[in-house]
Structure 1
Amino acid sequence: MPASTYSGNALLNLLLRGVAFSAPARVYLSLHTADPGLTGANEVSTGDWPAYARQDPAQGAAVGTGFGAAAAKATDNAKEILFPAHNGGSNITVTHFGIWDASTAGNLLWYGALTASKTLFPTDEAVWKIGELDLSVT
């Protein structure tokens, strides 16, 4: 899974130049209808899904509780992540996810394609069970 331009630059500056990087106080999971690229494009809109909002994997607890400790350059979600029921008028097909440092706007940190795209019909919920959202550094 690719890191965003923002994250890549911060990591390189930290490790190779000693330039401090402040870790986000909280991270948020977004859903996308196409590849978000390095900037987070194609995020689901509240025009199509009025109840949509990025979700906090830590669910309000300490940010470190949302994902397990990294091992072998990988981690996964430590808690179930549930998006609100799709309350729009038409189907939405979700193909990608993003990890952000803010609930709205902010900086895209990480992104990736879903294993399989998912069409959400009105009243459907999007959910990741514990351990289903895998992040890795390649």
Structure 2
Amino acid sequence: MPATTYAGNAILNLFLRGVALAPPTRVYVSLHTGDPGLTGASEVTTAEWPSYARQDAAQGGAVGTGFHASASKASENALLMSFGDNNGAVPVIVTHFGIWDAPTAGNCIFVGELDDPKTYLPSDEAVVRQNAITITVE
């Protein structure tokens, strides 16, 4: 998966220009109903799923506990995450995920496609199992 525009620019500025990059104090996982592109578009909305919120990958722990140490240009989520029940009136089909530096707004850092789209009917709980999200740098 490619880095988003934000992450790509930050990486290039760090390595090619020596511009320091402040690491995020938290990283948040988002769910998307379509391809987020390089900006994080198509995130699930609270109009579709009223209680939806991005999830802190470290669940309140140190930011480094949310994902495993990288190896071979890849890392996986270290903890199980629950997005809670779809408390909306209609099914929500999730096809992609995103990684952000803020619980709302903020900068989208990485995006990826799920192996299989998942339909969450009203009252279905969205759970992301440990090691289910793999972030790779191409």
The TM-score by the shorter chain falls in which range? over 0.9
Q: SS at the partner of 1:126?
A: strand
Aligned residues: 138
Aligned amino acid, residue 70 of structure 1: S
Aligned amino acid, residue 36 of structure 1: P
Please give the TM-score of this superposition, normalised by the length of structure 2.
0.98
Q: How does 1:1-138 map to 2 (within 5 A)?
A: 1-138=1-138
Which structure carries more strand by proportion? 2
Distance 1:77 1:35 in 2: 20
Q: Give RMSD over aligned pairs.
A: 0.7
Aligned amino acid, residue 78 of structure 1: A
Distance 1:43 1:133 in 2: 16
Aligned residues of 2:84 and 2:127 also touching (Cα < 8 A): no
Provide structure 1 residue ranges, at least 5 long, that are not aligned to the other structure.
none
Please give the TM-score of this superposition, normalised by the length of structure 1.
0.98
Distance 1:43 1:132 in 2: 19
CA drift at 1:107: 0.4
Provide structure 2 residue ranges, at least 5 long, that are not aligned to the other structure.
none
Q: Which moved more, 1:54-63 or 1:121-130?
A: 121-130
Distance 1:18 1:87 in 2: 46
Q: Runs (4+) of structure 1 moved beyond 6 Å?
A: none
Q: SS at the partner of 2:85?
A: coil
